[in-house]
Structure 1
Amino acid sequence: MSQEESFVSHLVELRDRIIRSLVVVLLMFGVCFYFSGEIMKFLSQPLYQALPPGTKPIFTDQAGAFFTLTKVAFLTAVLASLPWILYQAWAFVAPGLYEHEKKFALPLIVSSVFFLLVGIGFAYTFVLPAAYKFFFAFASQTGADIMQDLQKYWDFTLAIFFGFGLTFEVPVVEMLLVKLGMVTPQQLREARRYVIVGAFVVAAVLTPPDVISQFMLAVPLILLYELGIWLAGFLKARSRNPEADADEDEGGPSSGSPVSTEKP
């Protein structure tokens, strides 16, 4: 097969896998849109818990409910379809990878999804309730009635989910940098003091301006950084290129002058 034919066949396979992914996303979107109201109620629990008793969130725009539920359904469908999408991506690139690269790529993909879900779950369980209690505590001091627009709540929630989902990918980034040879686990350990300061800076930007919320992000980031150092060293040892190891073994006595075994 010529290079041109091989390139075309790869494009056809890529198109087919993208179509398969889109079909699953659309099917999941239909299911999620049907249950979008229940999904939105579940995602709004931190808001309901923080609101004063007897009050409910509102929509200030007539079309706000439709667009908000559509966004919720679509993003939920993408998240639910993520394993299938990643499988299609893996099936496309895996034939061109060496065995030691497969040993590294598959754990990297699985861990990235895992840490993404952990970050979103952490934000939903701990950060959002603390943030809205902090906001409403200040609003109550003015004596005004507290009313929350659900559309604005979802925009804020999406930003929080996105921010925490990305920051919880710190171990994955460390593993990738070490595998690419850009840094070493020892260099990551030496940069620990700067990471601690940076974690509190990032927490101050992404969270409400109170000490509790900042610690809720800074401390997990520091722990994730330490976890990333350990995982990077572990995966680097498990996914070494066998050919490189063979070259290192051959670089011993065989690389110099031969050693005579004959007795004088």
Structure 2
Amino acid sequence: MAKEKNNTGEMSFLDHLEELRWLLVRSSAGILIGAVIAFTFSREIFDDVIFAPLKGDFVTYRIFCDAANKYDLDKSFCVTEIPVTIISRNMDGQFTTDIWTAIVAGIIIAFPYILYQIWKFISPALYEKERKGAVSFITGTSLLFFLGVVFGYYLIMPLSINFLANYKISDIVVNNVDLDSYLSLVKTTVLSCGLAFELPVIIYFLAKMGLVTAAFLRKYRRYALVIILIVAAVVTPPDVVSQMTVTIPLIILYEASILIAARTNKTPKTAE
């Protein structure tokens, strides 16, 4: 059905709502397909991906242990096992967990497709030159998101698990961790890092709208650095190598955001 337009050639409010509805429908369909694929391989996803950081031979632990032995640093990652036992306390706990994990995996798998749908929705409001950047926008944003997911999975998550599993208030207490609690840590860490790596994209749009400037980001750079260092200190062992491994990528993201804001702020603005 053709969309009705007013005398200025613009879509009506109801037409925008219709387009938004179809955006949600198509995005949900993409997530559902991704979830079905993830559910099909759920055993491999749980054993080889989600629960892999609970094994002492996980790649991150081995790399940090080798670095610690080579440079005489903290040996907290040189372990044969993580002192945590995962339990499920609800009758339907494992089945429900399988379903929701498949949905989260579906979101990650379908992320580029969701971006494409969002781009189709906002593209009518963009200039012709900006519309031509669709491929670059989707590719760049997707790449940043997946880099964030990888960063969260291979660095932040194992560092957090190792720290929390070995933190003790008494030898009497045993870490029998509920399945929901463990998966909450995994999902929160991975998705948060994926979204955090979208900072340059977010800054671009905020700068485009005039809400953020490069001068503002430079002014508060020292505060951002302090926050980054605090986060790195909390999730890593007390050695410089581990802390810098987490700190450097986040600082690079912040500095890249400043450059993007500076370049965007220089773009001439129209009266509109």
Short-chain TM bin: 0.7 to 0.9
Letter in 2 for 1:92: F
Aligned-residue RMSD, C-alpha: 3.5
Structure 1 distance, partners of 2:147, 2:11, is: 40
Structure 2 distance, partners of 1:39, 1:127, is: 19
Shift of 1:125: 0.4
Task: Specify the alignment match of 1:28 in structure 2.
Answer: 34
Query: Are 2:212 and 1:183 aligned?
Result: yes
Structure 2 distance, partners of 1:29, 1:107, is: 26
Q: 1:60-79 maps to which residues of 2 (within 5 A)?
A: 60-79=89-108
Shift of 1:174: 2.6
Structure 1 distance, partners of 2:207, 2:168, is: 47
Structure 1 distance, partners of 2:82, 2:257, is: 43
Task: Specify the alignment match of 2:72 in structure 1.
Answer: none
Q: How many residues align structurally?
A: 240
Structure 2 distance, partners of 1:114, 1:69, is: 27
Say which SS state the counterpart of residue 156 (structure 1) adopts: helix
Say which SS state the counterpart of residue 61 (structure 1) adopts: coil
1:43 to 15, 32, 50: 50
Shift of 1:178: 2.4
TM-score (norm 2): 0.71
Task: Specify the alignment match of 1:254 in structure 2.
Answer: none
Query: Are 2:246 and 1:220 aligned?
Result: no
Structure 2 distance, partners of 1:60, 1:138, is: 23
Task: Specify the alignment match of 2:192 in structure 1.
Answer: 163
| Cα deviation 1:104-142 (Å, max 9, x = unaligned) | 776555444332222221121012222222233334971
Letter in 1 for 2:51: S
Do the aligned partners of 1:175 and 1:229 also contact (CA within 8 Å) in 2?
A: no
Gaps of 5+ in 2: 57-78
Letter in 2 for 1:149: D
Task: Specify the alignment match of 1:152 in structure 2.
Answer: 181
Letter in 2 for 1:3: N
Shift of 1:214: 5.5
Gaps of 5+ in 1: 248-264
Shift of 1:195: 2.1
Query: Are 2:202 and 1:173 aligned?
Result: yes
Using a 3 Å threshold, how does the CA distance of structure 1 residues 70 and 194 change in structure 2: closer, same or farther? same
Using a 3 Å threshold, how does the CA distance of structure 1 residues 53 and 211 change in structure 2: closer, same or farther? closer
Structure 2 distance, partners of 1:136, 1:53, is: 7
Using a 3 Å threshold, how does the CA distance of structure 1 residues 3 and 161 change in structure 2: closer, same or farther? same
Structure 2 distance, partners of 1:55, 1:200, is: 27
Structure 2 distance, partners of 1:166, 1:148, is: 27
Structure 2 distance, partners of 1:94, 1:152, is: 40
Task: Specify the alignment match of 1:258 in structure 2.
Answer: none
Structure 1 distance, partners of 2:156, 2:100, is: 21
Structure 1 distance, partners of 2:229, 2:107, is: 31
Percent of aligned positions that are identical = 31
Do the aligned partners of 1:32 and 1:73 also contact (CA within 8 Å) in 2?
A: yes
Shift of 1:215: 4.8
Task: Specify the alignment match of 2:6 in structure 1.
Answer: 3
| Cα deviation 1:55-92 (Å, max 9, x = unaligned) | 86432333221121111100111111121122122122
